A and B are shown apart, each in its own frame.
Chain A
């Protein structure tokens, strides 16, 4: 990895367009994500967030589209649901489709705090634990790009806070580029280096979060960024 010349961009799109049945869902999307950069994508429901993520993951079969799209071959997706195969145990789910990856699978499971649960069935895990397995399944492939589609949306508030800390820790250690799709403004500010806002299929905001590595929700600057982003999402407090 270190021997390779560091590419300037992990993700690069130019004038990306996607449409369903003649109606445009995304248009004129230009996104650059640097290697190791953590970008959050905010937007209301129906703004095209998931369509954009599916386009980046090449999961949009049969969708009309145009524009330039460069993403690394080695990318992983974390979905909102953990999407574990119920008939495979935890370790088998993590190493799904890989051969000889058991050792790496155990290491990553320990990193997400699930040591000793390797042979459990997915139904035996809590929602948070299932999502940690899904995260391990993505990270064991050492992706250059991690695409996460509201991965914590279905979790309770306390579990979500713990998952935020875990994700930050894992990203610091493994340095993938991340695009996190979310509708949670606090989550975006807590985790991301940069926040994009999507509205009606267009990017209307590209904000670098100038907070340090410690993100305290109570600081005035945090509140300022939150107010600004909420206003961009059409939720104004006056």
Chain B
């Protein structure tokens, strides 16, 4: 007990300023800290518009944007564009996901597969999607096919890279274990390889989902008659900054929402890891 009280005594001492340790870490989290930056921007924007400091031809006022948003929803245009865009992004994502995963597994499990597949994917990774679009337009026209293929090509890369990396970094000890247990090749794949590579795949998926939306902007601005990118492009032609901002905000919300959705799936699928963070 005496020892305990001595400790308490020593603990109270650093309250004196000259003995206080300098805090080097960032300190405790600020409540609503993440929302603070965007809120500040919003306030500056509203104040600038309200005081007439921002020319509405450069940037519409927040209330104009909100009114336009309501109007676009009321006449159903926003829903139409959003539907078209979502369908494109989802199709490209789904196809790219399957192709990327299959390529990663083939390349991750066989040296021959790696020799054939890895190089081309790395080359694709180094080429910006934007640079491929003229070629893809020549090959596949300017219709839906070209758009979905562009998104697919963009999505394949992160899925492949992260899944392949996860496959290759599966602990050799598990491989040894599988050998002593006489696992068949299929059982090895199902029990060890695929679950082991799942964290990498989920990381790739998060990048892929974001990339699908980003690629959408590109393909829809190049040549389209519908979709969010088309809506933004048209608004640019007519100088309607409020519509452009509605489009940008919708993109941002879509991106954040789909990332949150993937993280939710990730937590479910990797529940065996969750116990670690407790």
Q: Which residue of A lies closest to B195 (CB)?
A: A87
On chain B, the residues within 8 Å of A123 by CB distance are: 272-273, 275-276
Q: Which residue of B lies closest to A61 (CB)?
A: B179
Are B275 and A59 closer than 8 Å at their CB atoms?
Answer: no
Shortest Cβ distance from A154 into chain B, in angstroms? 13
Q: Which of A57, A75, A83, A88 contacts B195 (CB 8 A)?
A: A88
Shortest Cβ distance from B267 into chain A, in angstroms? 14
Are B176 and A87 closer than 8 Å at their CB atoms?
Answer: no
On chain B, the residues within 8 Å of A141 by CB distance are: 181
Q: Which residue of A lies closest to B194 (CB)?
A: A87
Are A96 and B191 closer than 8 Å at their CB atoms?
Answer: yes
Shortest Cβ distance from A209 into chain B, in angstroms? 28
Are A97 and B181 closer than 8 Å at their CB atoms?
Answer: yes
Shortest Cβ distance from A12 into chain B, in angstroms? 20
C-alpha gap A137/B275 in the complex (Å): 23
Are B183 and A83 closer than 8 Å at their CB atoms?
Answer: no
On chain A, the residues within 8 Å of B187 by CB distance are: 97
C-alpha gap A75/B174 in the complex (Å): 17
A-B pairs under 8 A by CB, number: 51
Q: Which residue of A lies closest to B182 (CB)?
A: A97
Q: Which residue of B lies closest to A58 (CB)?
A: B179
- Asked if A169 is at the interface (CB within 8 A of a chain B CB), the reply is no
Q: Is the interface of B mostly helix, strand, loop or mixed?
A: helix
C-alpha gap A76/B182 in the complex (Å): 10
Are B182 and A87 closer than 8 Å at their CB atoms?
Answer: no
Give A71-105 interface residues, CB cut-off 8 Å to B.
Answer: 75-77, 79, 81, 83, 85-89, 96-97
- Asked if B253 is at the interface (CB within 8 A of a chain A CB), the reply is no
Knowing A97-B191, A123-B275 touch, does A85 contact B179 (C-beta < 8 A)?
Answer: no
Q: Which of B174, B180, B195 contacts A59 (CB 8 A)?
A: B180
User: How does the 8 Å CB contact mask read for B259-274 relative to A, with 1 for contact and 0 for none?
Assistant: 0000000000010110
Are A85 and B173 closer than 8 Å at their CB atoms?
Answer: no
C-alpha gap A68/B260 in the complex (Å): 60
Are B180 and A85 closer than 8 Å at their CB atoms?
Answer: no
Most chain-B Cβ atoms within 10 A of its Cβ — which of A85, A86, A87? A87
Are B272 and A83 closer than 8 Å at their CB atoms?
Answer: no
Shortest Cβ distance from B23 into chain A, in angstroms? 32
Number of residues of chain A lying within 8 A (CB) of chain B: 21
- Asked if A124 is at the interface (CB within 8 A of a chain B CB), the reply is yes
On chain B, the residues within 8 Å of A79 by CB distance are: 173, 176-177
C-alpha gap A59/B272 in the complex (Å): 29
On chain B, the residues within 8 Å of A89 by CB distance are: 272
- Asked if A222 is at the interface (CB within 8 A of a chain B CB), the reply is no
- Asked if B192 is at the interface (CB within 8 A of a chain A CB), the reply is yes
Q: Which residue of B lies closest to A124 (CB)?
A: B275
On chain B, the residues within 8 Å of A124 by CB distance are: 275
- Asked if B196 is at the interface (CB within 8 A of a chain A CB), the reply is yes
C-alpha gap A96/B191 in the complex (Å): 8
Knowing A85-B174, A85-B191, A85-B195 touch, does A121 contact B180 (C-beta < 8 A)?
Answer: no
Q: Which residue of B lies closest to A89 (CB)?
A: B272
User: How does the 8 Å CB contact mask read for B240-278 relative to A, with 1 for contact and 0 for none?
Assistant: 000000000000000000000000000000101101100
Shortest Cβ distance from B22 into chain A, in angstroms? 36
User: How does the 8 Å CB contact mask read for B188-203 relative to A, with 1 for contact and 0 for none?
Assistant: 0001100110100000
On chain B, the residues within 8 Å of A87 by CB distance are: 195-196, 198, 270, 272
Shortest Cβ distance from B71 into chain A, in angstroms? 50
C-alpha gap A79/B178 in the complex (Å): 12
Shortest Cβ distance from B4 into chain A, in angstroms? 28
Are A57 and B173 closer than 8 Å at their CB atoms?
Answer: no
Are B192 and A85 closer than 8 Å at their CB atoms?
Answer: yes
C-alpha gap A57/B178 in the complex (Å): 12
User: How does the 8 Å CB contact mask read for A100-135 relative to B, with 1 for contact and 0 for none?
Assistant: 000000000000000000000111100000000000
Q: Which residue of A lies closest to B191 (CB)?
A: A96
Shortest Cβ distance from B132 into chain A, in angstroms? 37
- B residues contacting A by CB (< 8 A) are 173-174, 176-184, 187, 191-192, 195-196, 198, 270, 272-273, 275-276
Given contacts A96-B181, A96-B183, 12 further A-B contacts (CB under 8 A): A57-B180, A59-B176, A79-B173, A79-B177, A83-B177, A87-B196, A96-B191, A97-B191, A121-B272, A122-B272, A123-B273, A137-B181
A-B pairs with beta carbons under 8 Å apart, 25 shown: A57-B180, A75-B180, A76-B180, A79-B176, A79-B177, A83-B173, A83-B174, A85-B174, A85-B177, A85-B191, A85-B195, A86-B272, A87-B195, A87-B196, A87-B198, A87-B270, A87-B272, A88-B195, A88-B272, A96-B183, A96-B191, A97-B182, A97-B184, A97-B187, A123-B272
8 closest A-B pairs by CB: A87-B195, A77-B180, A97-B183, A97-B181, A87-B272, A121-B272, A83-B177, A123-B275
